[in-house]
Amino acid sequence: MEAVRTRDFIETTDGLIFSAVSYVHPPDRYIAFLRYYPDPSGERVKDGRAYRKVASTALSFDWLEKNHPDYLFYSDVTGGMLQGVPLDRVERIYRPQDALARIVQEPGNPVEEQAAELSEVLEDIPPEKKGVTGSLLLGLEGGSSDIDFVVYGRDSHQEARELLQELLEEYREGELIRPLTEEEWMTAYEKRFPGVPALSFEEFLWHEQRKYHKAAVGDTPFDILMVRDWDEIQGVYGEEAYIRGKEVKMVCTVTDAAYSFDSPSVYGVAARDRRVSEVVSFTHTYAGQAREGEKIEVQGYLEEVRGRRNTFRIVVGTTREAEGEYIKVVSPSP
């Protein structure tokens, strides 16, 4: 079984394309979510085959249940249905660093050229710690595609964001790396909140602009995404399991934000309910949302952590859209 990390992609023998969403997997399959499936009327084309991008978590489950239910399985870890690619259905594994290496050598379109330029701007990050994911990784990008730029390792990711902060704070008109326009920020906001927004645009913008993980290279917006390096991955699948409880809203203080930019984002917290020690977000909207020492308001689902006695966490992002679930800072650090 090949090692697969978050933000790797998997193409199946059925022509489906899944995004890996975990660092640890059961012995018979990779935990991953459907992102593209073959469709003659799809807008993305790769090797002469048209694909359709899955619009939402609910639709991906519905589509698989109707067309390929064997990619759904009950997980004892989460106590619910998950998506996963059985090992005997793996056709190809796409790795972000391999795609970027190819793009840097021979960019094939304007978006790839700008990804190569971004990699050059981040030249202090070693090649093996950089990559591209999403549509660029797969060769399914279109003219309006953004760049999902991966940096491996917490320290390297922080270094990349610090460099981006310096470039944005010293930006002069006409330079390659530039801040997003208000229109581009609004596009990002509407993408993150396709339904009823949990945060106002002003709240979203305040949180996002201090993260220094979004900007544009030329005319293409990009995200700098964190993925754990191999030596940062701990645990095995099934070592802990979770029992989901009721929906809760709680104010707590962040005590550890070391892996707040990870996927899932992890925040150590101190709460009035002392059993709650962690907030975990499975949606990128709340990556890097808060810093150590800040008070946050969280709305999500309480989960008991089996394997850690009398310990609970709050989960935000029980769907990709996370409607009605959020993390927001109510007392920022100086």
* 298 close to 252: Cβ distance less than 8 angstroms: yes
What number is the average pLDDT over the span 188-192? Answer: 94
Could you read off the pLDDT of 290-323 as tens digits, one per residue?
Answer: 999 999 999 999 999 987 777 999 999 887 778 8
82 Rama sector, left if φ>0, alpha if ψ -120 to 50, beta otherwise: beta
Could you read off the pLDDT of 276-287 as tens digits, one per residue?
Answer: 999 999 999 999
Helix 201-209 × helix 182-192 angle, to 10°: 110
Question: Which two structure tokens, joined as six digits, stand for 166?
Answer: 């310096």
- β-bridge mates for residue 74, sequence order: 81
Sequence-distant (6+) residues with CB within 8 A of 36 are 16, 17, 42, 44, 51, 52, 53, 54, 138, 140
Predicted local confidence at residue 152, as pLDDT: 98
Question: Which two structure tokens, joined as six digits, stand for 309?
Answer: 């006695």
What number is the average pLDDT over the span 145-174? Answer: 96
Predicted local confidence at residue 309, as pLDDT: 73
Q: Of 300, 323, 322, 294, whose CA–CA distance to 312 is shortest?
A: 300
For 18, 74, 96, 204, the CA distances from 84, given in Å and listed in that order, are 8, 10, 20, 32
What number is the average pLDDT over the span 91-111? Answer: 96
Q: Mean of the per-residue pLDDT values for the chain?
A: 94
Whole-number percent of the chain with pLDDT over 90: 87
Domains and CATH numbers, the chain: 9-92 (no CATH), 96-230 (3.30.460), 240-331 (2.40.50.140)
Predicted local confidence at residue 79, as pLDDT: 86
Could you read off the pLDDT of 103-147 as tens digits, one per residue?
Answer: 999 998 999 999 999 999 999 999 999 999 999 999 998 777 899
